[in-house]
Structure 1
Amino acid sequence: MAEYLSPGVYVEEFDSGSVPMEGVSTSTVGFIGVAQKGPTEGLPLLITSFADFQRYYGSYLSQNAFGEYRYLAYAVDHFFLNGGSRCYVMRVAPGDAKPSANDQTVLHFTAKNPGVWGDQIRVAVAPASKAKTQILAIEGEASQEGEAASASRSYRVKSTAGFEVDDVVVFSDGEQKQYRKVVKAQDSILELDQPLEGGDAVIDANLLPQKVLRTCELEVNVLCGDEVETYENCSLNGASANHITKILSRSNLVLVEDHSSEAGQEEVVSPFALIAGDKKDAASYTIALSGGSDGSVSSLSPADFMGEDRGPGKRTGIQAYIDNDVVSIMAVPGVTDANVQLALVAHCENLKSRFAILDIPRDKTKVADVNTHRDIFDSQYAALYNPWLQVFDPLEKRSIFIPPSGSMAGIYARSDQSRGVQKAPANEVVRGCTGLDCQYNNGEQDILNPRGVNLIRAFSGQGIRVWGARTTSSNGLWKYINVRRLFIFVEESIKAGTNWVVFEPNDEMLWARVNRTIEAFLTRIWRDGALMGSSASEAFFVNIGRSTMTQDDIDNGRLICEIGIAPVKPAEFVIFRITQKTNEE
C-alpha cells in the first residue's frame, strides 16, 4: 500500500483494462546441416539473407567433396528465394575436421572453427602505441648529483595515463631506441626495470618534445577473403585490459594463445620484434594459417545431426535449438536418415512450438518406396514433401536436384506473410525451380495424399506448384498443416502475451482482465479469417473463473482458463455437382 504522510493531492495510475496481446512469428526457420565454416556448437546464428549465410557459413559445397550432405547452402538460398525473410542456422562438421593454425611460437593463432576455409586467413601484425609522454625530471635524492642521479630508475613524466605495470616501453631520442619494462606507475612517476642511458639527456621539457617515452603494442589485422578485422593497441602484457587474447576474443575468424612469457628473453624487446624475429625492422609481419581440414564425409553419422546436450552454450546439432525460442519451423535439408528425421520430429513434439518439414530420399520415387518411408512417422508436428526439385547450381554451372524442404520453408513464410498462418501452404508456385526429379499423376497422388505425403507437381500453364497440405498424423483432427500451425500460433501468442499474469492476485478482477485480453486477441484472429463462424461467439469461447477452478486450484496458485477455437480448414476437394436442366423443371 502507498504511504500518505503529508497533506496534499496524490495522483496514481493503476491497470484495470485488458493488456494488448500480439501474435508471435510463425515464419522463422531453423536449419541444420553441413557448411564450409561457422560455429558447430552454441547458439544458432540469425541469418537474414543469403549474403549473410555466405559471410558466416560459406558458399555452396561440391558434390565430390560432400555428396548427399551438401544441400544446406542450396536450401537457405531457395528459402529466401521463395519468400523467407529470416532463419537460424546450425552447422554440423565431421568429427575429423580440423581448424587451420600457424606454427608461430609467440602467438599461436587458430581458426575459430574447423575447415579448409581457415587456410585463407592471414594475420598482419604491425607496431603500435597506445600512450606516449615526455620525461620532465629524474627522481632521486636531492643531494645526489651526476652519476648517482642518472642511475635512478624513477622518472617524473608529464602523464602516466596509459602506462601499466609490466608494459614494454621504448624511449626514443630521434637516433636510438631503448626498451624497458614498467615496474611502477603512480601519479606522475614511472619506475622502470633499468635506468635509461644518457643521464640528464633523457629529459625534454619542451612544448613539442623530441625525446618521448612510448608504450609498445601491436595492431592486428585478421584477413580472410573480403573480410577484414582490425584490432588496435593489442598488448602482450597478460595483466593488461588490452591483452591480445582479451581483444581478439571478439573475432569471428580466429582464436589466439599468447606464449610470449615462455620465450625466455633475457633482455627487453618490443612485442613486434619478439614476433617478427629477423624481420623486426619491417613495417609489418604476416602470419599465415594452414593445415585446415573439412574432414571426411564418411565420418559423419546421424549422431552429429541429432547433436549433444553439453549444457548451455555448448549444445550441438538439433539440440542447439533448445535454447532458441524464436524458431517455429525446422528442417535438416537433404538428410533423410530415419534416425535424424525422427529426432527432429521428437524435438518439435517435445517443445510443441515448432513444425518439422521432412524430405523423402531422392531414390525413393515409386509409390511403394515412398509409402515405406512415410510409414516411419506418425506426428501432427511434421509434413513430408516429394519429389526433389531441379534448380540451377551456381557452383557447377549446371542444373542439379535439391531436396524440397528449403523451398517449402520459404513458401510457408511467404504464405504466412501474405495470407496468414490459417492459409494452407499449398497451391503455391515454387520459385527458382525448373523441373522435378519425377512426375506424379493423379492416380499416384490418389494413393499418396491420403497417407499424408505432399506432392509437388507441374501443371501446364501454371508452373510447378505444391499440391498437398497434410501432416503425417493418423489423427483426423490434425491432418491439415494449417490447423496444427494455427494452434501453435495461438498457443504461443497467448503464452507470450499473458506473462504479466504470473504472481498477480488470483481474484475476480484478474480473471476479468485475462478474459478480456484473450477475447480481444481471438476476435482479431477471427476477423482475419483464421476461425470459423459468422460471429465471435461461434468462432471461439473463453471460460475462466469458478467454472474452471476449484478452491484447491486457487489455494495452490493455479489460474485455469479454458479456450476453444474453431479453425478454418482448407478446401482440399472442390466438388461441383452439375445436372441437366430441363424445361419441366
Structure 2
Amino acid sequence: MADYLSPGVYVEEFDSGAQPLEGASTSTAGFIGLAQRGEIEGVPQLVTSVADFHRLFGSYLSENEFGEYRFLSYAVEHFYLNGGSRCYVMRVAPTDAKVAKNKADSNKEASILEISSKNPGTWGNQIRIVVVPSSKAKTQIYEVISDKQYRVKNNAGFNVGDVVAFEAAGQKQYNKVVASQDNIIELAEELDGDVTDAGLLPSKVLTTSEFTLHVFYGDEAETYEKVSLNISAANHIEKIVSRSNIITVKDLTDGKDLGVIAPFEVLSGENETVGKFQIALSGGSNGSIAQVTPDVFMGVDRGPGKRTGIQSFIDNDVVSIIAIPGVTEPTVQLSLVAHCENLGSRFAVLDIPREKTKVADVMTHRNIFDSSYAAMYNPWLQVFDPLDKRNIYIPPSGSVIGIYSRSDQTRGVQKAPANEVVRGAVGLDCQYNKGEQDILNPQGVNLIRHFAGQGIRVWGARTTSSNGLWKYVNVRRLFIFIEESIKNGTNWVVFEPNDEQLWARVQRTIDAFLTRVWRDGALMGGSPSEAFYINIGRSTMTQDDIDNGRLICVIGVAPVKPAEFVIFRITQKTREE
C-alpha cells in the first residue's frame, strides 16, 4: 500500500472492470520451400506482396534445375492473387548448396578479406563489388610538439590504429595513429619536412585513409562509405557491412599489423591513383536435387535464431496457416502436421502428389493422416507460368491458403473456406465427378472442381480427422482463433491475487469477447447464454488448485457448422390440408 504521511488529497487509479480482449489474427500464412536466394537459418521473413517476395527470395525457379521442388514462388504469388494479406517465408536449400566467394588464388584482397554472398545459390556469382579510396576526416597541423606528436586543428575522426596520409605538394606520406586526444595526434613515425600549416585554406593536410564499398546485384545496390581495416575502429568493415542483404565480410587479418600502407593498396595491390578496382564472387551453387531430402524441410533445432525448415516457425507466434507447397513426401507432411498439433495455434494445408489422381491412389495417401489440424486438397491447378510463358500445373496449397485468408477477412473465420472461386486458375489437372467425390469427401479429401458458368471452386471443407466433432476446417480454425485470443488477451491475470474479485473480472473479460464472437455469427444460439457458458470460481477450482497457484476457467462454446448438404424436399399437393 502507498504511504500517506502528510495531510492532503490523494488521487489513485486502479483497474476493476473487464480488460478489452482483441481477437487473434487467423489469416497470416507461412510457407517453406526452395528459392533462388534468402536465409536458410534463423527466423522466417515477413513478405507483404509478390514484389516483396521477389526482392527477398528471387524469382521463379526453372523446372530443369529444381523439378518438383520449384513451387514456392508460385504458391506465394497465388496466395496474394486469391486474397492473402501477409505471410512469412522460410527458405530451405540442398545440403550441398554453396555460397559464392572471392577466390584467394586470383585476388589479393582474398588474403585480407573473405567476401561471400549472404546465402547459398548461383545468384551470388552475379554480385559485383567496386572498391574506391576515400577518407572520413582531414585536418591541418598547427604545431610540432615532438618528433611524433602534433597539435592539429581537429582530431575528430582520427582513431588509434588508423592509417593516415600527410599530403603536401602533391606528395603523400603514410603513417599510423598511435594516440589521438585533445587535438594532439601521435604517429608511429616522424613526418618528413615542414608539416605545419595555419592557413585558412591549407595546402598541407593530414587525412585518414579508408575505402568505400559499392555492392551490386541486379537492380539492388548497397554503398558502405569510408570503411576501415582497423579492427578497433567503429567503421571497421565487418561491423559496417554486417547489415548488408547481399554479402558478408570476414576480416582474415585477426587484427595483425598491416603496416603503414593505405587500405585500398592493401586490398588491390595498386596505388590509390588507380581510382577503383572490382571484386568478383564465384563458386556459388544451388546444390543438387538429389540432396533435397526430407530432413531439409523438417529442419534442425540449433536453438533460438538458428533453426531451419519447419523448426524455424517455432520462433514465430503470428502464423496461423502453413504449407510446404508441392512437397508431398509423407515424412515431411507428417512432421508439418505434428508441428501444428504441438503448437495448437496453426493449421496445415497439404497437397496430394500430382500423379495420384485415381480415387484409390488418393486414398492411399490420405490414409496416412488423422488430424484435425490439417486439410488436404486435390487436384493440382493449371496456371500461367511467367518464366516459361506457358501454362503449367502447380499444387493447390498456395491458392487455398489465399482463399482461407480472403474468407476470414470478408466473412470471418467461422465461414467454411469452400464454395469459393480459385482466382488465377485456368484449368485442373483432372476433373472429378460427383460419384468420385462421394467417396473422397467423407474421407476428408477436399476436391477442387470446375462447374459450368461458375468457374473453378474449392468444393470441400473437411479436415483429415476421424473425430466427427472436428471434421470441419472452420470449426477447428474457430477454436484456434478463440483459444489464441483468450491466451493473448489474459496475460494480465498472471500473478494477480486469486480471489473472487479476479474471477469476476476474468469472467467479464471473456464474456464480452465471446458475446462479440456470437454477434459476428460464429456461435450458434439465439442468445449469448445459448451460444456459450463460462464457469470460474469454487465450481471449477479446489482449495488445492488455489494453494498451487492455479486459476481454472471452463468455457463451452457452440460453433456454427457449415451447411454441407442442402436438401429441399418437394412434394405434390392439390389443395391445402
Question: Which residue of 542, 548, 556 maps to 2:540?
Answer: 548
Shift of 1:35: 0.6
Aligned partner of 1:450 in structure 2 is 442
Q: Deviations over 1:473-517 (max 9, x none)?
A: 000000000000000000000000000000001111111110000
1:170-319 map, 5 Å: 170-198=165-193, 201-260=194-253, 268-278=260-270, 280-319=272-311
Letter of the structure 1 residue corresponding to residue 263 of structure 2:
P
Deviation at 1:262, TM superposition (A): 8.4
Of 477, 485, 494 in structure 2, the residue corresponding to residue 493 of structure 1 is 485
Q: Is the 8 A contact 2:231 2:255 kept in 1?
A: no
Q: How does 1:48-447 map to 2 (within 5 A)?
A: 48-103=48-103, 104-140=110-146, 152-198=147-193, 201-260=194-253, 268-278=260-270, 280-447=272-439
The answer as to 2:523 corresponding to 1:528 is no
- What is the distance in 2 between the residues matched to 1:108 and 1:130? 24
Residue of structure 1 in register with 2:553 after alignment = 561
* Cα shift at 1:332: 0.3
Specify the code of the residue in structure 1 equivalent to 2:200: L
Deviates more, 1:358-367 or 1:164-173: 164-173
AA of the residue aligned to 1:68: E
1:146 alignment partner in structure 2? none
Letter in 1 for 2:58: G
Are the equivalent residues in 2 in contact too, given 1:279–1:285 (CA < 8 A)?
no
Residue 279 to residue 138, structure 1, CA distance change in 2 (3 Å): closer
Give structure 1 stretches of 5+ with no counterpart: 141-151
Instruction: Find the aligned partners of 2:427 and 2:97 in 1 and give their Cα distance.
Output: 35
Cα deviation, residue 284, structure 1: 1.7
Residue 7 of structure 1 corresponds to: 7
Say which of 464, 468, 471 aligns to 1:479.
471
Is contact 2:113-2:252 (8 Å) kept?
A: yes
Q: Structure 1, residues 38-71: CA drift from partner, whole Å, max 9, x if none?
A: 1111101000011111111111001100000000
Instruction: Give the C-alpha shift of residue 279 in structure 1.
Output: 5.8
Deviation digits for residues 130-173 of structure 1 (CA, Å, limit 9, x no counterpart)? 11111000003xxxxxxxxxxx0110111111111110011112
Q: 1:163-217 CA deviation, whole Å, 9 max, x = no partner? A: 111100111124111110001112121110111111xx21011122221111111
User: Which residue is equivalent to 2:22?
Assistant: 22
Contact 2:165/2:173 (<8 A) preserved = yes
> Following the alignment from structure 1 to structure 2, what is the Cα–Cα distance between the partners of residues 19 and 469?
35
Q: What CA distance in whole angstroms lies between the structure 1 residues aligned with 2:576 and 2:549? A: 72
Whole-angstrom CA distance in 2 between matches of 1:525 and 1:495: 16
Native 8 Å contact 2:33 2:325 kept in 1: yes
Structure 1 counterpart of 2:238, one-letter code: T
CA contact (8 A) 1:425 1:482 kept: yes
105-114 or 451-460, larger mean C-alpha shift? 105-114
Deviates more, 1:373-382 or 1:169-178: 169-178
- Tell me, what secondary structure is at the counterpart of 1:457? strand
Query: Normalization by structure 1: what TM-score?
Result: 0.96
**Equivalent pair of 1:367/1:448 in contact (CA under 8 Å):** yes
* Alpha-carbon distance in structure 2 between the residues aligned to 1:124 and 1:470: 56
Distance 2:499 2:49 in 1: 48
- Cα gap change, 1:261 to 1:88, in 2 (>3 Å): closer
- Number of aligned residue pairs: give it: 571
1:256-308 deviation digits (Å, cap 9, x = unpaired): 1223568975x511101111213642222211111111010011100100111
Indicate the larger mover: 462-471 or 153-162. 153-162
Instruction: In structure 2, list runs of 5 or more residues that go unmatched.
Output: 104-109
Kindly provide the CA deviation profile for residues 525-549 of structure 1, in whole angstroms up to 9, marking residues without a partner as x: 0000000000000000011111111
Supply the distance in 1 between the matched residues of 2:176 and 2:263 (Cα, whole angstroms).
12
Shift of 1:219: 1.1
Is the Cα–Cα contact under 8 Å of residues 379 and 471 in structure 1 kept in the other structure?
yes
Q: Secondary structure at the match of 1:202?
A: coil
Cα deviation, 1:97-116, whole Å, max 9, x if unaligned, reads 11000122222201111000
CA contact (8 A) 2:133 2:272 kept: no
TM-score, reference length from structure 2: 0.98
